[in-house]
Amino acid sequence: MTRRLIVYPAMVLICAASLFPFFWMIVTSLKPDTEIFTVSPQFIPHEPILSRYTELFSGAIPRQFLNSLLVAGATTLITGLIALLAGYALARFNVPMKRYLLIVILSIQMLPQTVLVIPLFVVLRNTDLLGTYQGLVLSHLALTVGLATYMLRSFFMDIPVSLEESAMVDGASRMKAVRLVVFPLVWPGLAASSIYGFITSWNELMFSATYMQQSSRETLPVALQQFFSSYYSDWGGVMAASVIFTIPVVVFFLLVQKRLMQGMVAGAVKG
């Protein structure tokens, strides 16, 4: 009984702390200025307005949205592919110097982005990739492949080798065994690492702000930061832009949260 007295109020508190900023962002974006700039806050807008959203959608936002989708989508796809192959190799083969390779893969995750931002700028400039989608996707791969490979390796290792071996003994080639037996089991892992890659790429600011200079190739984080720096006293408009930027990730996340949790749990337990 006492346990419940602690657990339930704590859960309410946790939910409130997690959700309030979302709530406040949406509410502010719907309030007319007279209701935003008040000393005691108004929690429910009296005369909600949608004009901020219609204005934003008639501007550059749809294009920036597509840019982000394209970059994050390509990053996710390529990350998944690379991690799938490498994860399988690292789980199933006695690769020489595997120990060191794993350490390298993990330490990629530990790299400060500032170490990469300058030389990648130089590299992309020299290869004429500065300001292109390909260039940004390449730079995002540096942030995603490490953990994605590690996650997928954990998944492959969870699948008993005996399953594969028995299939192979039965005459199936390794590829067939992998395709029929292993892939179906590794899907949750692929989903988890994909979401991780997608969110990382979708949210990334430093590389995007530095590399994507061409008109109409801005991604959303850059656009939002720029919008904020010019109109930041227009809090209603800024909040509306933030909502537009946040909703896709949240929806995507809610759709796949079950798989993501499985992936994270698997990753965490193996450490």
Residue 181 CA neighbour count, 13 Å, CB half: 20
Residue closer to other proteins (CB basis): 22 or 48 = 22
Binding residue (CB under 8 A) for other proteins from 49, 108, 185, 191: 108
Residues in binding contact with other proteins, number by CB under 8 A: 147
Nearer to other proteins, 48 or 107 (CB): 107
Residue with smaller CB distance to other proteins, 48 or 134:
134
Of 185, 190, 168, 188, which Cα lies nearest the Cα of 177? 168
For other proteins, the binding residues in 164-203 under the rule CB under 8 A are 164-165, 168-169, 172-176, 178-179, 199, 202-203
48, 50, 166, 231: residue in contact with other proteins (rule CB under 8 A): 231
95 binds other proteins (CB under 8 A): yes
Told to check if 255 binds other proteins by CB under 8 A, we report no
Identify which of 14, 138, 164 has the alpha carbon closest to the alpha carbon of residue 78: 138
Q: Which of residues 131-170 bind other proteins (CB under 8 A)?
A: 131-134, 137-139, 141-142, 145, 149, 157, 160-161, 164-165, 168-169
Contact indicator for 161, 170 with CB cutoff of 8 Å: no
Nearer to other proteins, 48 or 179 (CB): 179
Taking CB under 8 A as the criterion, the residue among 5, 39, 44, 97 binding other proteins is 39
